[in-house]
Structure 1
Amino acid sequence: MTIKSNTRPVASAARDFLLTDSDFSRVRALIYQRAGIALGEQKREMVYSRLSRRLRELGMSDFTSYLAQLEAQHDSAEWQSFTNALTTNLTAFFREAHHFPLLAEHVKTCAQPVTIWCSAASTGEEPYSIAMTLIEALGNRAGNASVIATDIDTQVLEKAATGIYTMEQVSKLPQERLKRFFLKGSGARAGQVRIRPEVAAMVKFGQLNLLAPQWGLKEPFDAIFCRNVMIYFDKPTQNRILQRFEPLMKPHGLLFAGHSENFSYASQPFRLRGQTVYELDAKRGKGVA
């Protein structure tokens, strides 16, 4: 067994703090235990960059003390800041656009009311895109449809709930959608847009950790979006989450995955329906009241 030095810095360049091998291993273990995120060795620079900001804000001098404080205070609010710092949030309106026409066709055949769960809401672009799709597909019936939007990161959820975005963030949307679903800012809000109230009313945001023993979700969903989340989990964790999705889905419910995710290896009741889209086997889908 090779024992590595515990004093190797993250890089040769001068740093404010020293991230030792031991510290980095502890960070990896703690975020895995807390959020199921499996950080590879190549994430060392990212860990240093993001957590060093926490050290500066807290006035701490080293990672070892910071991690010791976390471990000693299991209910500390700093755990959420730690998790937020190590969560990657990359999103856009109608990202992986091929999913949304399929969702539109699916919900047209669903019994009312239609309910969708977006399990990695980030700053809101994805759940709002889902809500817009429901409005376009269902027309007047969209009034009864809803989107449950969750994320482990409380900071991005706060941003999402405001429904405010820059013009650059919506620049790739067709003008028809911009006019229909957004209000243009003026004065101090010039250069920004806000989601229209009727769209925002369809989306309910809440914090949720996919590794939590209880999710607190009861409604059977017509579709679950879990896109670009599983890539941060190891395969046993992915499998457990997929198994927990099953009783929350209606028969023939759809599961939308990210472009780099493939669940065909897992022993779960989904069959491939399209490009990174899976359908629940109706014979196994249970649903819950």
Structure 2
Amino acid sequence: MKEFLFTDRDFKEIADLVYNACGIVLGEHKREMVYSRLARRIRERNLVDFKSYLAFLKKNKDQEFDAFINAITTNLTSFFREIHHFEFIKSELIPVLLKTNKHSKRVRFWSAGCSTGEEPYSLAMTLNAAFPSDWDVKILATDLDSNVLAKAQSGVYTAANVNGLSEQQLKRWFLKSKDGEAYKVKPKLQECIAFKRLNLLQEWPMKGPFDLILCRNVVIYFDKETKDQLFERYANILSEQGHLFLGHSESMGKEHSQYKNLGKTMYQKGSNARGI
């Protein structure tokens, strides 16, 4: 028998709240996950069941809603995850940007769903020294979850977190703790990154244009209508031939004719993009 009563009505109400807040679809297969994650909130608030927690949430939205959303959202990432994307940036995208942006000397990347920071830091490592020193190169890193965003900003990782990085990368970009169990990103790597909390379904304060948007393993949680709206908004904020990268289990329908499919979940905006 479970610790807290969790009815079908409770689950539906939670699923509706999450969908309306951030577009994430919680199917029946997510029920156990929802129970285990929100059970912690119920304990912390000294409540008796999910019904009482939902009542508390309604009365104390300003106080509790961020913690509620943080508990539900999933964050799984690693440095240089899906390495082919970073290889494309290094070998294909950077040489093109050096030519197309040579007059503005401005480059903008957006890690949309940056989680605990491994993605934007991997991007910063890839971009390092790729552009002349007088260029304005910036990375925007956003996430809905304020907890993981705080970890990303701190730039502190365990030895297990950095396991996939080479000794050269670790020495160049991280400060190692005396016991060897913690690694902190050096300030030099953080200089070009701005971490901001953002709900992708709400208004975006930035205007762009972005040369590349990484939205990997984010839209997998959205329904088709929400995905389509998001792809349209990304197209509007990308540069004329900007790129959009999705996660390995995500895809974009052919109806999005403003994008060309480059393969390996990489898409390019514009009529001159090379498709496959």
TM-score by length of 2: 0.92
**Hey, what does 2:81 align to over in structure 1?**
95
Give the RMSD, CA atoms, in angstroms.
1.7
Which one of the candidate residues 152, 155, 159 is aligned to 1:167?
Answer: 159
**Hey, what does 2:171 align to over in structure 1?**
179
Rounded to whole Å, the distance in 1 between the matches of 2:52 and 2:228 is: 35
* Structure 1 residues 50-199: aligned runs within 5 Å: 50-73=37-60, 75-104=61-90, 105-110=92-97, 111=101, 112-135=105-128, 137-138=130-131, 140-141=132-133, 144-186=136-178, 190-199=180-189
Which one of the candidate residues 21, 29, 34 is aligned to 1:34?
Answer: 21
SS in 1 for 2:128: helix
Rounded to whole Å, the distance in 1 between the matches of 2:55 and 2:255 is: 37
SS in 2 for 1:15: coil
SS in 2 for 1:137: coil
Residue 93 (structure 1) shift: 0.2
SS in 2 for 1:210: coil
Change (3 A) 1:87 1:254: same
How many positions carry a matched residue from both structures? 266
Residue 66 (structure 1) shift: 1.4
Aligned AA (1:208): L
Q: Deviations over 1:92-138 (max 9, x none)?
A: 00000000011123123211221100000100000100111111533
Rounded to whole Å, the distance in 1 between the matches of 2:74 and 2:87 is: 27
Once superposed, which parts of structure 1, at least 4 consecutive aligned residues long, lie more than 2 Å away?
68-73, 140-144, 264-268
Q: Deviations over 1:242-275 (max 9, x none)?
A: 1111121111111010000010244351110121
| Structure 2, unaligned runs of 5 or more | none
Q: Deviations over 1:119-178 (max 9, x none)?
A: 00100000100111111533x448631110000000000000001111111111122222
| Aligned residues with identical type, % of pairs | 44
Aligned AA (1:86): I
Rounded to whole Å, the distance in 1 between the matches of 2:218 and 2:129 is: 27
| Structure 1, unaligned runs of 5 or more | 1-13, 285-289
SS in 2 for 1:78: helix
- After TM superposition, the structure 1 stretch with the greater mean CA deviation from structure 2, 113-122 or 268-277, is 268-277
**Hey, what does 2:195 align to over in structure 1?**
205
- After TM superposition, the structure 1 stretch with the greater mean CA deviation from structure 2, 58-67 or 88-97, is 58-67
